[in-house]
């Protein structure tokens, strides 16, 4: 079993320290596990690349436009996609910039993941091909997309305030949902603005990252339904993405929706007089 880390921050910075703590702890927890990691800001992608085979063109009409002297930048997209599809678990570690994961990660995900690595789509095409239907016969599929995969998220912000970090985890979830990876842990590390500051405060951040690595190790190889979420939760959390981030639809009798995964529910007044969500579960 292999865990791939995707580190999205400063070299030797806070998110890299925590990613390495998580990966090392996972290897210690289970000696059969191997790990590797990619420094996302170092991934090289030409300025206006053609889409990968089978992928959607997201160049916005700029394919082939190059800078002065032409683009001689290497294209790492295929290697990164192969590393992701070969892995049994993914740990994303990112700084928070402007309340979200730093943009280098979003840029990379837009270029290599998305609809053409969508497990539901791949399964539908495979079923159709097996049934001998003509529509999808020409499509070549990478069956590794369907492999059981778990994921965990580390987000590090300098701010101690919730509103300045609150969109980090919802965005990180979008990076793995097309792969149908099960999120088993997630943590926002707040108030760590200075380089290396995650090593302070008695090492509590490092210990939490190690726990996250152990949680991944304990769930790796399990199917989506078997793998358990082991991260933080509160009584209002959505039962699927385990966060309390909702939109309210007053036109529909106080219906709520989870902004991360789309689960539906209602706001009701509980016996203790407090407003609380009641989520629809299947």
Ligand X SMILES: Cc1cc2nc3c(=O)[nH]c(=O)nc-3n(C[C@H](O)[C@H](O)[C@H](O)COP(=O)(O)O)c2cc1C
Residues that bind ligand X (CB under 6 A): 9-10, 13-16, 95-99, 156-159, 164-165, 192-193, 195
Nearer to ligand X among residue 116 and residue 153 (C-beta)? 153
- Rounded to a whole number of angstroms, the minimum distance from the CB of residue 178 to ligand X is 25
Nearer to ligand X among residue 182 and residue 190 (C-beta)? 190
> Cα–Cα distance between 127 and 132 in angstroms, integer?
9
Nearer to ligand X among residue 59 and residue 164 (C-beta)? 164
- Rounded to a whole number of angstroms, the minimum distance from the CB of residue 93 to ligand X is 8
Nearer to ligand X among residue 173 and residue 180 (C-beta)? 173
- Rounded to a whole number of angstroms, the minimum distance from the CB of residue 20 to ligand X is 11
- Rounded to a whole number of angstroms, the minimum distance from the CB of residue 196 to ligand X is 8
Nearer to ligand X among residue 105 and residue 220 (C-beta)? 105
- Rounded to a whole number of angstroms, the minimum distance from the CB of residue 167 to ligand X is 9
């Amino acid at each position: 079993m292999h865990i791939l880390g995707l580190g999205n921050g400063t070299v030797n910075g806070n998110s890299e320290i925590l990613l390495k703590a998580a990966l090392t702890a996972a290897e210690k927890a289970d000696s059969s596990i191997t790990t590797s990691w990619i420094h996302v800001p170092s991934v090289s992608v030409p300025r206006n690349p053609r889409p990968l085979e089978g992928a959607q063109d997201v160049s916005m009409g700029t394919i082939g436009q190059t800078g002065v002297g032409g683009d001689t930048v290497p294209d790492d997209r295929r290697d990164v996609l192969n590393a992701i599809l070969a892995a049994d678990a993914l740990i994303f570690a990112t700084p928070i910039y402007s309340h979200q994961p730093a943009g280098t990660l979003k840029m990379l995900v837009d270029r290599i993941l998305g609809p053409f690595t969508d497990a539901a789509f791949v399964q539908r095409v495979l079923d159709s091909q097996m049934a001998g239907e003509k529509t999808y016969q020409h499509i070549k599929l990478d069956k590794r997309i369907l492999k059981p995969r778990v994921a965990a998220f580390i987000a590090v912000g300098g701010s101690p305030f919730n509103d300045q970090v609150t969109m980090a985890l919802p965005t990180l979830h979008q990076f793995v949902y097309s792969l149908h990876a099960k999120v088993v842990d997630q943590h926002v590390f707040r108030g760590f603005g200075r380089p290396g500051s995650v090593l302070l405060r008695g090492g509590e951040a490092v210990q939490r990252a190690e726990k996250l690595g152990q949680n991944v190790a304990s769930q790796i190889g399990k199917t989506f339904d078997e793998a358990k979420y082991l991260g933080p939760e509160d009584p209002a959390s959505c039962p699927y993405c385990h966060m309390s981030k909702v939109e309210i639809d007053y036109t529909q009798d106080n219906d709520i929706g989870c902004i991360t995964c789309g689960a539906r529910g209602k706001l009701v007044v509980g016996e203790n007089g407090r407003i609380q969500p009641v989520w629809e579960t299947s």
